[in-house]
Amino acid sequence: MNENHWPALPGVREALVNSLADVNLTGDALAAGLERRLAADLGTTPDRVVAGAGSGALLQQFLTAHCAPGTSVVHAWPSFDLYPLLIRNAGAEPVAVPGEQQDFRAVAAAVTDDTRVVLVCNPNNPTGEVLGEEWLRSLLAALPQHVLVLVDEAYREFADQAEIADATTLSADPRLAVVRTFSKSHGLIGLRVGYLVGAQEVVGPLRRVAPFHRVPTVAQAAALAALDAGARMREQCRAVAAERDRVRAGLRELGYDVPPSGGNYLWVRLGPRNQEFIAHLAEHGIAVREVAGGVRVSTGVPEANDAVLTAARAFSGRPVEGAVR
């Protein structure tokens, strides 16, 4: 899984333990304190930030608030494999735009009068593709005014920060919203915390479909502590990215087809041999899965990454017939 294998960020454990003393109290049911802190960090106002139980929940709230039956939501493919499900759950129709490298013109061309939202995953899961600011600006310029763009930045911290767009800085355009999570970079997947930033009129409707207790109080405490450890978080993400690049280089040396990735995972393309590769890794105690026509290999601790390379070496000795090169 695309998880963070580092121990908790400094201060998180203490914050969790301290918050346990107050679990019998309502506390900040609306997570307003966390929203204020996030807004301050982002240089924006709290009415433009909504906290929620992870980015998956916020994606669902966004789609539910802004889509209705008969509308459509456009997204690239391959991309996060939950998008079609989340879109259908909101009563809308998913429209997938094929292409391993996302083309803003093709995305814009798939938009119709019925389209309400374009979902952009950056870095993309599972391909790892990183989109820069120019790409996002071009997409916005090519889209009609009635379409919202939601950029899913779940893996943003693992990418080269000079290369990847920071969609929160493009928020002068009210059509653009951004969703982020504490699940990956901050290592809090089990606590369920994320946030969505956008124009007040885009964020406001999400509050109406949000559960009253937005984020558990213990999770709020952990998230605030994790924000205080921002420098360490970025350092850890850089270390994860270095491991990811090490594994990619090793796999490519062995002849595997692996595009560059800005996430904490790699997408290995073996064509018709994907399942065989997955079964082979399983024999070595490594669990990976096929996503959108490739094998997604998450970055683990160095020993686990070494195990992937060892298993891949044994596999590449066999003929790789029909692999996409």
Query: What CA–CA distance (Å, rounded) separates 124 from 30?
Result: 30
- Dist. CA 262–CA 125, nearest whole Å: 9
CB of 12 vs ligand PMP, minimal distance in Å: 16
Place of tokens 């107050």: 22
Q: Provide φ and ψ at 150, rounded to 5°.
A: -110, 115
> Are residues 52 and 208 in contact, defined by beta-carbon separation less than 8 angstroms?
no
Q: How far is the CB of 311 from ligand PMP (least distance, A)?
A: 24
Residues 6+ apart with CB under 8 A from 276: 270
- Residues 66, 228: contact at Cβ < 8 Å? no
Smallest gap from residue 56 Cβ to ligand PMP (A): 3
Q: Evaluate whether 79 touches 119 at the Cβ level (below 8 Å).
A: yes
Q: Smaller CB distance to ligand PMP: residue 154 or 240?
A: 154
* Cβ closest to ligand PMP, residue 60 vs residue 217: 60
Tokens 């301290």 identify what position? Answer: 18
Nearest distance, CB of residue 69 and ligand PMP, angstroms: 24
Nearer to ligand PMP, 194 or 250 (CB): 194
Query: Alpha carbon of 69 to those of 29, 90, 237: distances in Å?
Result: 31, 8, 40
Nearer Cβ to ligand PMP (56/187): 56
Q: How far apart are CA 249 and CA 261, in angstroms?
A: 11
Which contiguous run of DSSP H or E holds residue 134?
helix 133-142
Provide, rounded to whole angstroms, the least separation between the CB of residue 31 and ligand PMP. 15
User: What letter would DSSP give residue 8?
Assistant: P
For β-strands 93-98 and 72-77, DSSP reports them as: parallel
CB 137 → ligand PMP: shortest distance, Å? 22
Complex with ligand PMP: residue 6 or 309, whichever CB lies closer: 6
**Side-by-side strand order, sheet with 265-268:** 265-268, 294-298, 289-291
Q: How far is the CB of 302 from ligand PMP (least distance, A)?
A: 22
Q: Which is nearer to ligand PMP, 259 or 271 (CB)?
A: 259
Closer CB to ligand PMP, residue 164 or residue 311? Answer: 164
CB of 157 vs ligand PMP, minimal distance in Å: 13
Length of the chain: 325
Footprint of ligand PMP (CB under 6 A)? 2, 54-56, 80, 121, 125, 152, 154, 181, 183, 189, 194
Q: How far is CA 175 from the centre of its chain?
A: 20
Which lies closer to ligand PMP via its Cβ, residue 42 or residue 311?
42
